[in-house]
Each structure stands twice: as structure tokens, then as C-alpha cells.
């Protein structure tokens, strides 16, 4: 199946059977969700916050702006990266000299405890994001938001961001989950001298003013949201209550969905989504390719033997790409391998030239002086075991055929992000997606030598760092296109991470659940869902 066929067939929806009795009996304004695991923190700024924690930020906190939406030809609705719309800020104005943007805040916005939202809360929240370090601070820096003195309180309801450089990503970066607005006085009451930003408290407590409040949070069991009826930053959600439960077993989640005991799930194995998509299924399935995202095999470039590019290339030629695509992902991904010739298009993701060629892999190992074999470890996130485990087994088998003996290391999903940050795993199977759909944004996160977060392979290449910067601030399209092509070619030649597939965001839901929209952060926006 080629990429075009995949995009067409994966968008199919089926609604042939009556709604299960359990789903019919549930109140129209209550949604029940089940997923493999839930948030490990209620604050996206805390160390190691996982993807479900991004969803908490999106629902419980406001941002100054959000993205608009667009409808694709097949009827699917996705966010529009080129359209920014008001959220907490009712309007904004770029300065005539282009060196700042001024936001006018809604004067009737209140936090969940009734405290009015002011510009000082926005500044404190932005100061926090650029100061706590780790992922939040790098995310802000991706849009040239780097230091507290860029943020200015003009008056109680006017806030200004001063630009330190002309960066086309700055405005887009203000609408992602990280620059969310906290009730600064509430957090400061629960901060300490050792923890001035109150990160310990916000891990298990919220201080937001978004469309939903957290009614209950039981880590490892469930999180329950209740609508904040005094929300002013958008249309009031139709769902009054959302119950999001942790159900580790995929078979149980599928059974709950088909019985009508839950309304929606979005992390079933590809095999289940494939079967549920077929004609006669009782639920609707929608699938969207995740833009700027790659499933990859990474190798730690700071430690032998993967500090040698020839060894990394040998691994890339040895991988069982088609077997992984067919048997681990059941065809529900776009192939990112098997290209011919040099990089021509200034786009990302795109297929690499690698494909399964055992003879070439063995020859490269011999050139590296390692024909006698290697022993290493391959790690993966158990939170995505339904895909990662069969992939790891197939990789282990394929590498064994060229003399690389591999031990598989399974890491719990709750600690996977922390394990990545240690940068001590020799090989990993992982997935990364860039929130901002620009090639240079992906490369800034994953290949830039100064990035300590998602450059999981500790790859260092000053030449590539410079090209990434050139692409970010290119003054013309020809210069930009040339920089992107050069970036991609270096990534393929040096291959610190082997691109495998472009994944999809698959969601299965009861037929009466409407309003689903794909978002770059891969968490359903319950503010938009309703029951027909």
C-alpha cells in the first residue's frame, strides 16, 4: 500500500450497527474514555510529564491563542497550522517595527477559584516556562522565547512579548500546550524556597482557568474532568463531565468499546483498528497521519560501537522494514524507507534510501572492523508495547543475522521519558512528532547538538546545527529549500536515527460521538466533542 492509498483508505468510517444499550443509557453530556495509561502529572512543566499530561494542559489551562480548524476533502477535521485564533487573548497586534506583539486579554476571564486572570499571571507563567528547564524551556526556545525580560505587563489586561529575533515560529509556538496560563498567586502559595515554581504541588494539583476542572485524579486509575461553566475563552463545551480511565489491557479496551461501556479510545493496537475499520463494525474509526512525526530506531552516537557511522549504516541496511510494517503496524503507517537517489524535495518526513540489504549491512560491519559481532541492548517504551514489542523482536532477529546480538529492555511508560533524558541507552525504538509542522522544527528538536531533550541519540554535528539555524531564519524560499534538503541528506548519511514509518493517529468511538478533530499534540479535545 503506498502513502496515497493509505491516506484514502485509513479515513473510512463505518456506522452499520445500532448503538449498544450501555452507550444509549449514558447521559448525553457525559463521556467515558479508556486508554492504556493516563497522565503522570497534572502539569506539563514538570520533569518527565508524559503525552496524556499534554491533554491535561490543553483542557485545564488556557493559552493566549489557539489554532483554527479546516476540513479535508474526505470530511475529516484537523487543526489549521496557518490560522491562529483568540483564546485568553481576545486580540493581538504586531508592532509596526515587527519587534513585538501586544495581547489584549479578556477582562471577564477567571481562574477556577474565581480569581480574575491578569497580565501578571501571564507573565509569571511565561517566566516559569522559560526558567524551569528541560522540555518546557526548550519548547519555548523553539520559538525564540528564551528569557523573562521578553515578557512585559503593560497594564492589568495588556501583555507584550518582545522578540529577540525575527522567527516565523514565535507566534505558532504561543499556541502549543506549554505556554499555558497559571493562577500565579495560588501556585506561589504552594511553592517553597527549594521549589520556587511550585512544581511539586502542581504535579498533583491544578491552578488553571480552562474549559475543564479536574474533579478527581487517581494516578494509574483515572482522571475525571468537570466542565467549568464560567469559562469565557471559547464556546462552552457540550460535555459536562469526562471520565478518562486507565485500562492497560488492549483487549479489554476493545471489548468495553464494543459493549458500549466506553465512548472512545485512541490507543488500541493497529490490528484492532484495522479490524474495527472493516465493514460491519459497530463503531466509527478515523485515522490521520501524524504530520512531522517519525517512528525510528535510534543509536547512541557517543558510545561504541554506534559512534561509528558505518555501524549505524549497517544497522539501517539490516532492518526488516516490510516485516515491521506488515506485522507490527498492520499497514497503518506510511513507509519511510526505500527511496532512490539523493534528497530532492525540501519536505519532512520523507523516505530514506535504506531498505533491507543484509549483504551490504555485513560489508559495512566488516569495514568498521566488527565482522566478529557486537553485543548491545535495544530498549523500548512499554506504554507503546503493542507496536514496540513486535518491532523490537523483529529487529533483534534481523540484527542477529549480521552478527549483532541484541538484548531487549522493556521500560515502563511512566518512566520512559526520564530514561530518555539519561542518554545512556545504546539503541531505542521510539517515536517523535514535532508540534509545529516545519522540517527545521523537527531537526531543531532531534538533531541539534545543543538540544538536551529529544536529541535522544546525543548526536553532535556543528555543520548540521548551522544548517538548521539557516533554515529557521532563511530570508528566501530558495535558501530555505536548499537548507532543508541539506539537513535531510546529512540525517540520512549520518543516520543517528533510522526513519521507519510515519505513524497515524487512530481513534475509535461510538457512532453518536461527534465533533472529533485531529490535533498535533495527539490528545482529543473534549471541548469540541458532543453526542448526537
| CATH number, residue 475 | 3.10.105.10
Q: Which one is predicted more confidently, 39 or 23?
A: 39
**Separation of alpha carbons 43 and 47, rounded Å:** 9
Percent of the chain having pLDDT more than 70? 96
Q: What is the mean pLDDT of residues 285-311?
A: 96
Which grid coordinates belong to 6? 493509505
pLDDT-based confidence at residue 280 (cuts at 50, 70, 90): low
Which grid coordinates belong to 192? 517553597
Q: What is the mean pLDDT of residues 112-129?
A: 98
> Is residue 390 domain-shared with residue 319, that is, in the same domain?
yes
Would residue 485 count as lying in a domain?
Answer: yes
Which grid coordinates belong to 36? 492504556
Helix (H, G, I), strand (E, B) or coil at 423: coil
Which grid coordinates belong to 349? 518526513
Please name every residue paired with 161 in a beta bridge, in sequence order, or none if there are none.
Answer: 101, 151
**Separation of alpha carbons 82 and 337, rounded Å:** 29
**Model's pTM, two decimal places?**
0.87
Q: What is the mean pLDDT of residues 423-428?
A: 96
Q: What is the mean pLDDT of residues 127-134?
A: 96
Q: What is the per-residue pLDDT across 477-520, written as a single tens digit (0 to 9) for each?
A: 999 999 999 999 999 999 999 999 999 999 999 999 999 999 99
Q: What is the per-residue pLDDT across 54-87, written as a single tens digit (0 to 9) for each?
A: 999 999 999 999 999 999 999 999 999 999 999 9
Q: Vertex 51, ends 198 and 448: CA angle to 5°?
A: 90
**Separation of alpha carbons 380 and 387, rounded Å:** 10
Are residues 58 and 177 in contact, defined by beta-carbon separation less than 8 angstroms?
A: yes
> Does 5 score more than 50 pLDDT?
no
Ramachandran sector of residue 26 (left: φ over 0; alpha: ψ -120 to 50; beta: rest): beta
> Is residue 236 domain-shared with residue 96, that is, in the same domain?
yes
Would residue 269 count as lying in a domain?
Answer: no
DSSP string, 178-238: SSPPP-HHHHHHT--SS-TT-HHHHTT-----SSEEEEEEETTTEEEEEE-TT--SSPPPS
> Is residue 317 domain-shared with residue 208, that is, in the same domain?
no
Handedness of CA 182, 84, 223, 216 (dihedral sign): positive
> Is residue 299 domain-shared with residue 206, that is, in the same domain?
no
pLDDT, residue 1, reads 38
> Is residue 314 domain-shared with residue 444, that is, in the same domain?
yes
pLDDT, residue 22, reads 82
> Does 16 score more than 70 pLDDT?
no
> Is residue 371 domain-shared with residue 302, that is, in the same domain?
yes
Would residue 305 count as lying in a domain?
Answer: yes
* CATH code, 57: 3.40.190.10
**Separation of alpha carbons 112 and 62, rounded Å:** 11
> Is residue 449 domain-shared with residue 360, that is, in the same domain?
yes
> Does 9 score more than 70 pLDDT?
no
Would residue 314 count as lying in a domain?
Answer: yes
pLDDT, residue 281, reads 74
pLDDT, residue 4, reads 36
pLDDT-based confidence at residue 15 (cuts at 50, 70, 90): very low
Q: What is the per-residue pLDDT across 41-55, written as a single tens digit (0 to 9) for each?
A: 999 999 989 889 999
Would residue 283 count as lying in a domain?
Answer: no
Q: Please name the helix (run of DSSP H) or strand (run of DSSP E) that holds residue 474, with its range, or none.
A: none
pLDDT-based confidence at residue 452 (cuts at 50, 70, 90): low
Q: Vertex 392, ends 139 and 251: CA angle to 5°?
A: 90
pLDDT-based confidence at residue 13 (cuts at 50, 70, 90): very low
**Separation of alpha carbons 394 and 391, rounded Å:** 5
Would residue 95 count as lying in a domain?
Answer: yes
Q: What is the mean pLDDT of residues 189-200?
A: 98
Between the two ends of the chain, the Cα-to-Cα distance in Å is 34
Which grid coordinates belong to 175? 499556541
> Does 172 score more than 50 pLDDT?
yes
The two counts, helices (H) then strands (E), for the chain are 18, 21
> Does 6 score more than 60 pLDDT?
no
Residues 6+ away with beta carbon under 8 Å from 434: 292, 293, 441, 442, 445
Q: What is the mean pLDDT of residues 186-215?
A: 98
* Residue in the structure block whose three cell numbers are 529549500: 481
pLDDT, residue 421, reads 86
Q: Alpha-carbon Rg of the chain, whole angstroms?
A: 23
Overall size of the chain counted in residues: 532
Q: What is the mean pLDDT of residues 192-214?
A: 98
- For 465-474, the CB contacts below 8 A with 24+ separation are 468/440, 468/443, 468/444, 471/439, 471/440, 471/443, 472/167, 472/168, 472/169, 472/440, 472/444, 473/165, 473/166, 473/167
Percent of the chain having pLDDT more than 90? 85
Q: What is the per-residue pLDDT across 327-377, written as a single tens digit (0 to 9) for each?
A: 999 999 999 999 998 899 999 999 999 999 999 999 999 999 999 889 999
> Is residue 334 domain-shared with residue 481, that is, in the same domain?
yes
Q: What is the mean pLDDT of residues 249-255?
A: 93
> Is residue 240 domain-shared with residue 297, that is, in the same domain?
no
pLDDT, residue 14, reads 36
Would residue 376 count as lying in a domain?
Answer: yes
CB count in 10 Å sphere of residue 340: 7
Q: Per the structure, how many domains does the chain have?
A: 2
**Separation of alpha carbons 283 and 285, rounded Å:** 7
pLDDT-based confidence at residue 414 (cuts at 50, 70, 90): confident
Are residues 88 and 63 in contact, defined by beta-carbon separation less than 8 angstroms?
A: yes
> Is residue 96 domain-shared with residue 177, that is, in the same domain?
yes
Which residue segment(s) compose the domain that 182 sits in?
Answer: 37-244
Q: How far apart, in Å, are the Cα atoms of 159 and each of 141, 155, 274, 510?
A: 19, 7, 48, 43
> Is residue 240 domain-shared with residue 298, that is, in the same domain?
no
pLDDT, residue 7, reads 37
> Is residue 231 domain-shared with residue 138, that is, in the same domain?
yes
Would residue 165 count as lying in a domain?
Answer: yes
Helix (H, G, I), strand (E, B) or coil at 187: helix
The rounded mean pLDDT for the chain is: 93
Amino acid at each position: 500500500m503506498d502513502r496515497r492509498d493509505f491516506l484514502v483508505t485509513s479515513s473510512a468510517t463505518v456506522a452499520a450497527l445500532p448503538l449498544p444499550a450501555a452507550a444509549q443509557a449514558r447521559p448525553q453530556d457525559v463521556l467515558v474514555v479508556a486508554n492504556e495509561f493516563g497522565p503522570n502529572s497534572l502539569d506539563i512543566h514538570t520533569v518527565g510529564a508524559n503525552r496524556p499530561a499534554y491533554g491535561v494542559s490543553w483542557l485545564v489551562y488556557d493559552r493566549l491563542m489557539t489554532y483554527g480548524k479546516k476540513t479535508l476533502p474526505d470530511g475529516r477535521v484537523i487543526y489549521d497550522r496557518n490560522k491562529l485564533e483568540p483564546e485568553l487573548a481576545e486580540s493581538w497586534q504586531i508592532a509596526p517595527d515587527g519587534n513585538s506583539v501586544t495581547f489584549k486579554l479578556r477582562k471577564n476571564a477567571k481562574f477556577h477559584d474565581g480569581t480574575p486572570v491578569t497580565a501578571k499571571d501571564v507573565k509569571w507563567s511565561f517566566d516559569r516556562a522559560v526558567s524551569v528547564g528541560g522540555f518546557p524551556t526548550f519548547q519555548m526556545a523553539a520559538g525564540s522565547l528564551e528569557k523573562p525580560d521578553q515578557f512585559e505587563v503593560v497594564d492589568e489586561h495588556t501583555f507584550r512579548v518582545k522578540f529577540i529575533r525575527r522567527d516565523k515560529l514565535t507566534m505558532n509556538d504561543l499556541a502549543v500546550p506549554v505556554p499555558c496560563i497559571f493562577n500565579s498567586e495560588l501556585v506561589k502559595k504552594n511553592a517553597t524556597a527549594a521549589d520556587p515554581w511550585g512544581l511539586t504541588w502542581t504535579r498533583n494539583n491544578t491552578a488553571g482557568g480552562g474549559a475543564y476542572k479536574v474533579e478527581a485524579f487517581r494516578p494509574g486509575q483515572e482522571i475525571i474532568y468537570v466542565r467549568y461553566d464560567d469559562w469565557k475563552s471559547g464556546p462552552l463545551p457540550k460535555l459536562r463531565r469526562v471520565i478518562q480511565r486507565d485500562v492497560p489491557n488492549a483487549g479489554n479496551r476493545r471489548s468495553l468499546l464494543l459493549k458500549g461501556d466506553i465512548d472512545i479510545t485512541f490507543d488500541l493496537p493497529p490490528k484492532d483498528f484495522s479490524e474495527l475499520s472493516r465493514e460491519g463494525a459497530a463503531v466509527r474509526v478515523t485515522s490521520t497521519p501524524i504530520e512531522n512525526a517519525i517512528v525510528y530506531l535510534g543509536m547512541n552516537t557517543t558510545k561504541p560501537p554506534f559512534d561509528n557511522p558505518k555501524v549505524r549504516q549497517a544497522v539501517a541496511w539490516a532492518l526488516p522494514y516490510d516485516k515491521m510494517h506488515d506485522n507490527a503496524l498492520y499497514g497503518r503507517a506510511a513507509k519511510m524507507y526505500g527511496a532512490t537517489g539523493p534528497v530532492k524535495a525540501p519536505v519532512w518526513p520523507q523516505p530514506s534510501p535504506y531498505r533491507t540489504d543484509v549483504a551490504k549491512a555485513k560489508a559495512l560491519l566488516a569495514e568498521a572492523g566488527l565482522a566478529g559481532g557486537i553485543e548491545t541492548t535495544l530498549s523500548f517504551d512499554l506504554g507503546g508495547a503493542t507496536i514496540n514489542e513486535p518491532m523490537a523482536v523483529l529487529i533483534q532477529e534481523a540484527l542477529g543475522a549480521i552478527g549483532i546480538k541484541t538484548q531487549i529492555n522493556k521500560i515502563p511508560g511512566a518512566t520512559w521519558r526520564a530514561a530518555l533524558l539519561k542518554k545512556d541507552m545504546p539503541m531505542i525504538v521510539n517515536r517523535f512528532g514535532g508540534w509545529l509542522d516545519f522540517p527545521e522544527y523537527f531537526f531543531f528538536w532531534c538533531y541539534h547538538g545543543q538540544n538536551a531533550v529529544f536529541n535522544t541519540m546525543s548526536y553532535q554535528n556543528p555543520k548540521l546545527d548551522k544548517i538548521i539555524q539557516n533554515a529557521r531564519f532563511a530570508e528566501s524560499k530558495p535558501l530555505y529549500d536548499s537548507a532543508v534538503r541539506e539537513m535531510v541528506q546529512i540525517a540520512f548519511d549520518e543516520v543517528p536515527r533510522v526513519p521507519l514509518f510515519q505513524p497515524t493517529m487512530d481513534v475509535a468511538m461510538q457512532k453518536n460521538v461527534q465533533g472529533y478533530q485531529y490535533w498535533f499534540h495527539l490528545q482529543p479535545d473534549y471541548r469540541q466533542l458532543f453526542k448526537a
